[in-house]
Amino acid sequence: MREPLQFGYWATNLGGLVFSSLDETDWTFQGNAELARAAEDTGFDATLLAARFILTGGRAPHLEAVSTSAALAAVTSKLRIIAAVHPGLWHPLVVAKMAASIDHLAPGRFGLNVVSGWFRKEFHTLGEPWLDHDERYRRSEEFIEVLRGLAEEETFSYAGDFYRLHDAWLEPRPLPGSIEIYQGGNSTAARRMAARLSDWYFMNGDTVEGAAAQIADVRAQAAAHGRDVRFALNAFVVLRESDESAADQLEQIISTANPDAVAAFAGHARGAGSSTSDRIGMWADSDAARLVQPNDGFRSGLIGSAETISAQVERFHAVGVDMILCGFLDYPRELPEFGRRVIGALR
């Protein structure tokens, strides 16, 4: 029997999720801790902390993902906390040690989102080499193999093209299977990696038909390896009393967008799907209005009344989506309201 649909939300450690003057999201740890406790109380299963060392929209305060995850783990009791990490900016043994430490603090509640990277300027700022698209995924595959090897073996050695370890070990090791591997990216290389190595495949916002096609592709490839993969979908939620008022709110978000920030993001995003030979992947066909929400969250259509949104959520679940990853404009008000009116109703 299929597991119930899960619900996650984007943490606000990087600030808000739309390039709009309407967004006043609190990036502080206090704000993130209050959201996490509200999410636990209203039915959310997980939170994802994005990773950036510099921001695509320019200089602004923000919190690092792994260290903030450890702090959130200490002030929550049920929520699964997923931290994004970039191979190329971290050594996998360092990440494995941090992950094992957080698992010791909050057993079974920490996961890693391995993000192969598309933001070239960030790598340049840190003085790290920038690899071609498919090479970045090949490096991520080695990164995950090292993470798994360190978690599963008492002593682990590895000789790859990007990472080499000699008689490495972790003590304490995480509980068996407790640290799941999530991954970003929707390209052909990303799908291949998910099928072979990842536990979860994160999709940018998409239509029901688009999500179904991605799921079918990754499932078929995973079956060839004797594996199962689970699927999460990004969605920016605009929950209002009526479909009309939600549509009006969406129009206000788009009409108050910062055009310079959207254009800058569009330029940076060319390092993702549009840089591949088959032009399959994130933002390969996104227009300016959709890029106001950088992860194509408007496209998923969770915009309307509670009844409209619940029906769309059920459509996604029917085609194989295992988790809806939500973002909001007014987090303190809208996140618990979504929990009560949508998650509560569906369960």
The 10 Å Cβ neighbour count of residue 133 is 22
Judged against a pLDDT cut of 90, whether residue 271 lies above it is answered with no
Q: Tell the burial category of 33 from Cβ atoms under 10 Å away from its Cβ (0-12, 13-18, 19+).
A: middle
Judged against a pLDDT cut of 90, whether residue 266 lies above it is answered with no
Confidence band, pLDDT 50/70/90 cuts, at residue 284: low
Half-sphere exposure of 118 (CA within 13 A, CB side): 25
Block residue for tokens 């310079």 = 260
Confirm whether 1 is domain-assigned: no
Q: What is the pLDDT of residue 264?
A: 78
The 10 Å Cβ neighbour count of residue 343 is 22
CA–CA gap between residue 83 and residue 99 (Å, rounded): 9
The tens digit of pLDDT for each residue in 81-98 reads 999 999 999 999 999 999
- Indicate the residue type of 173: R
Which residues span the domain enclosing 328? 6-346
Confirm whether 132 is domain-assigned: yes
Decide: helix, strand or coil at residue 98. helix
Q: Can you give the CATH number for the domain in which 92 is found?
A: 3.20.20.30
The tens digit of pLDDT for each residue in 23-67 reads 999 999 999 999 999 999 999 999 999 999 999 888 899 999 999
Confirm whether 51 is domain-assigned: yes
Decide: helix, strand or coil at residue 190. helix
Q: What is the pLDDT of residue 289?
A: 74
Confirm whether 130 is domain-assigned: yes
CA–CA gap between residue 340 and residue 42 (Å, rounded): 6
CB 125 within 8 A of CB 151: no
20, 55, 113, 207, 306 from 341: Cα distances, Å: 26, 33, 29, 22, 6
88, 90, 144 from 165: Cα distances, Å: 15, 14, 13
Confirm whether 26 is domain-assigned: yes
Confirm whether 95 is domain-assigned: yes
- Nearest residue to 84 via CA among 97, 72, 69: 69
Whether pTM exceeds 0.75? yes
Q: Could you write out the three-class secondary structure of 141-172? A: HHHHHHHHHHHHCCCEEEECCCCEEEEECCCC
Judged against a pLDDT cut of 90, whether residue 272 lies above it is answered with no
Please tell me the total count of domains within the chain: 1
Decide: helix, strand or coil at residue 125. helix
The average pLDDT across 203-216 equals 97
CA–CA gap between residue 283 and residue 9 (Å, rounded): 21
Confirm whether 54 is domain-assigned: yes
Judged against a pLDDT cut of 60, whether residue 276 lies above it is answered with no
CA–CA gap between residue 10 and residue 239 (Å, rounded): 16
Confirm whether 222 is domain-assigned: yes
